[in-house]
Every structure is written in C-alpha cells, then in structure tokens.
Amino acid sequence: MTTPWCGGCDPHSRADAEGQPCAACHPAAAPVADARRWCGQCHRRTRLTADGRRCQRCNPLAGRDDDPYRRRAWCGRCDKRDRMVRDAGGVHKCRACHPLGRPPAQWPMHDVPDGYTEQLMACEWLCYVSPTLRRTGSDRLRVLLQLWFDAGWTPRDVLYALDHLPTGETQPGEIPTAAADPRTTEAYVKRRLRGWLDGDDGPLPPVNRQIADKRRKVVAAQEAAREEWLRRSRVAVPPALSRGAAMARQVARDAAERNRRRRRAADDRELQRRGEELVAGQEASAHWRELLVREAQPHAEEPPPGVVPSTGEERLRAALSAPTQMISLPTIGESLRSRRPSPRPR
Ligand SMILES: [Zn+2]
Ligand SMILES: [Zn+2]
C-alpha cells in the first residue's frame, strides 16, 4: 500500500466495516500515485532488488509484505487446526497467521489495469486468487503480463487464455502445482499465452472485447430491426383505409355481380327456350288439328293419269320415311281412313 493507512479500516485490505474500499486510504478510492521513476539500482522491470525484495525507492507496493503467503507460526489467538477466527462476526481467516489472511486490495477482474501500479495491483490480486500464479510472485507476473495488459486485456482474459486456446478448446499440457518451482510456473504462463499471439507476435483481441463486439453487433442488429418495424408500422394504413384492401374488396364485389348476372342470363335463356318450345308445340298441334278437321271432309282425288295408285299401307310408309313437312294431306287422310274400323283393305 502506498497510501498511508488511515487507521480506521482493515490495515491490509483497506476495507471498511461494510467490506467496501476505505474512502480514506483504499487505492481504488484514492488512486495510488503511479510508479515512481526507476531508481536505476534495482531490476528495471521487476523493481526487485538483488535479494528479491521490493525496491524501497521505486516499487509502488514496497510497503506491502513481500511474501504475504508464507507459512507463519500459530498466533495463539485463532483455531490452531485451520487458522480461522470464529467470533460474533462469523468465521474469517486469521490475519496474523493464516497464509491468506492478508488479502491484497481487490482488483476488479473485468478492469484493464493501466500503468505500472495498476498492473502490479492486478497481479497481486491474481496471485491471491490463483495458487498456481502465486508461485511467480506479483512483481514477476506483472512483467509476464505487461504486454497483454497494455493490449487491453483484463485479469479475467488472462485467466481464460491460460485455460483455453483461442478456438475455445482447453489448453493442452500440465498445470504446475502450487508448490512448483517459480521458473516452471513462469514458463507455463509464457507457453500458454504464446497461443494467443498473432502473426506479428502481438496479442489477439482479448475475449472480453470479442464478446463485447459481438454483443454490440447483436444489439445494433436488434435496434435496426426494431427501427424498421416501427417505421413500417408508422407508414402502414389501417385495413379499413388501405387502398389495396379496398381494391380487393371491389374486385370481389365485381366478380360476385358478374356471376349473378351470368346466372340470371342463363335462367332467362332457359325460360325463353322452354317458352319457344311450348309455342312451337302449340302451333304444331293447332296445325295438326286444322289438318285433321280439313281431312275429315270427304273429297275425291284421282291420281294423275299413268300413276298406279298404291295401296294405303305403302303410301303411309312412304310418307313416314319422308321428312315431316313432306307429308301430303291425302296420304294422312288416307291413313286415317284406313285405320277406321269400316271397310279396311287387306
Ligand atoms: Zn528501485
Ligand atoms: Zn492466527
């Protein structure tokens, strides 16, 4: 912690009674001044002195315990078996002797740490949450991750990339144990992050940005679709007023009217045909009646000279085989006479 402890909060996490960052001295509330200029006497990138301790002159977190996770002797005030303190406030890790009893200031996992101090604080937090990474120490881890943080990666992206390939598959290979040599852990971090370099050895876009870009695209598409729908519903005319609907109704009405007219015309034609038939039938029967009446009167007609009068039967057959109009009056008269019971030729 570079800001002096205010005395009113937890000295290590700088959290107040509610667990919120102390407004007086938490780095998130009162940002830590960025790393001082390199003093020139320690390791330039890790700001560690030759004996591995944080350089008091230029390491922004020099005030914090160099190795907060080391095993400590039992303080005598907590539960000896699990180094937990059980009191009215519940159960929590003993600050004096639990290896994780002195958590660093929490770095938001979705925030990109900017600059030396923030990157170091983010690495402090990564070391706290990851037993594997803890072995490297936050100062060395910051050197390993600087390239990625500078490219806009968050601690969450780093953890994802250590477990996954850019394709989404699980990273192959072993994970060093929490007791592994720090150099093994450093090699592991380098090796796994190498898969996330592009052709120019620059970091690929972090997953958080890929997700955000995708979400932005989806939201934009939804927004565009909604706009289009609203625009259409604005220009849409209610069905009762729509020109197209009115036209369709008119067409349907016209078709119905045409059908009705066609049916009526057909009925009329049929009636007329029947009427004509009736009239024709009446005329024909009147004609026949007239003929019969006229035929009933006696008359004598001799066949012209040279013509042998045929018998009644023959003449009737000839008359019937001829067209109706050609039936001559004497023929019918004779046939009628021949059917009378009186003198009938055989
Ligand atoms: Zn220094
Ligand atoms: Zn204790």
Q: What is the predicted pLDDT for the residue at 282? A: 92
- How many domains would you assign to the chain? 2
Q: For the segment 99-138, what is each residue's pLDDT rounded down to a tens digit?
A: 888 888 899 999 999 999 999 999 999 999 999 999 899 9
Claim to verify: residue 333 and residue 249 sit in the same structural domain: yes
Closest ligand to 35 CA? 1
Last residue of a domain, one of 213, 236, 259: 236
- Closest residue by Cα to residue 52 from 121, 134, 175, 137: 137
Residue 79 resides in a domain: no
Q: Which structural domain, as residue segments, surrounds residue 220?
A: 205-236
Distance 56 CA to ligand 1 centre (A): 6
Distance 83 CA to ligand 2 centre (A): 5
Residue 43 resides in a domain: no
Q: For the segment 32-65, what is each residue's pLDDT rounded down to a tens digit?
A: 555 568 888 999 999 999 988 899 888 888 888 7
Q: What is the predicted pLDDT for the residue at 141? A: 95
Kindly compute the dihedral angle of the four CA atoms of residues 264, 269, 273, 276, in this order, to the nearest 10 degrees: 100
Q: What is the predicted pLDDT for the residue at 225? A: 93
Rounded to 5 degrees, φ, ψ at 79 are -70, 120
Closest ligand to 101 CA? 2
Distance 59 CA to ligand 1 centre (A): 6
Instruction: Report yes or no: 189 and 133 within 8 Å, Cβ to Cβ.
Output: yes
Q: What is the predicted pLDDT for the residue at 65? A: 74
Closest ligand to 71 CA? 2
Q: For the segment 230-251, what is each residue's pLDDT rounded down to a tens digit?
A: 888 888 777 667 778 888 889 9
Q: What is the predicted pLDDT for the residue at 180? A: 87
Helix axes 155-163, 182-194, angle to 10 degrees: 90
- Closest residue by Cα to residue 109 from 149, 139, 57: 149
Distance 64 CA to ligand 1 centre (A): 15
Q: What is the DSSP letter of 15?
A: B
Q: How far apart are the first and last CA of the chain?
A: 154
Compute how many other C-beta atoms are within 10 angstroms of the C-beta atom of residue 276: 10
Distance 100 CA to ligand 2 centre (A): 11
Q: What is the predicted pLDDT for the residue at 27? A: 61
Query: What is d(CA 320, CA 316) in angstroms, rounded to the nearest whole number?
Result: 6
Claim to verify: residue 256 and residue 226 sit in the same structural domain: no
Degrees to nearest 5, angle at CA 296 with 290 and 300:
120
Last residue of a domain, one of 191, 216, 236: 236
Distance 12 CA to ligand 2 centre (A): 15
How far CA 76 is from CA of 72, 102, 171, 314, in Å, comes to 11, 17, 44, 155
Closest ligand to 73 CA? 2
Q: What is the predicted pLDDT for the residue at 158? A: 95
- Closest residue by Cα to residue 145 from 173, 172, 167, 126: 126
Claim to verify: residue 220 and residue 284 sit in the same structural domain: no
Q: How far is CA 217 from the centre of its chain?
A: 13
Q: What is the predicted pLDDT for the residue at 30? A: 42
Q: Which two tokens stand for residue 86?
A: 């059980």
User: Which residues in the chain show pLDDT less than 70?
Assistant: 1-8, 17-36, 239-240, 298-313, 315-316, 318-346
Claim to verify: residue 222 and residue 292 sit in the same structural domain: no
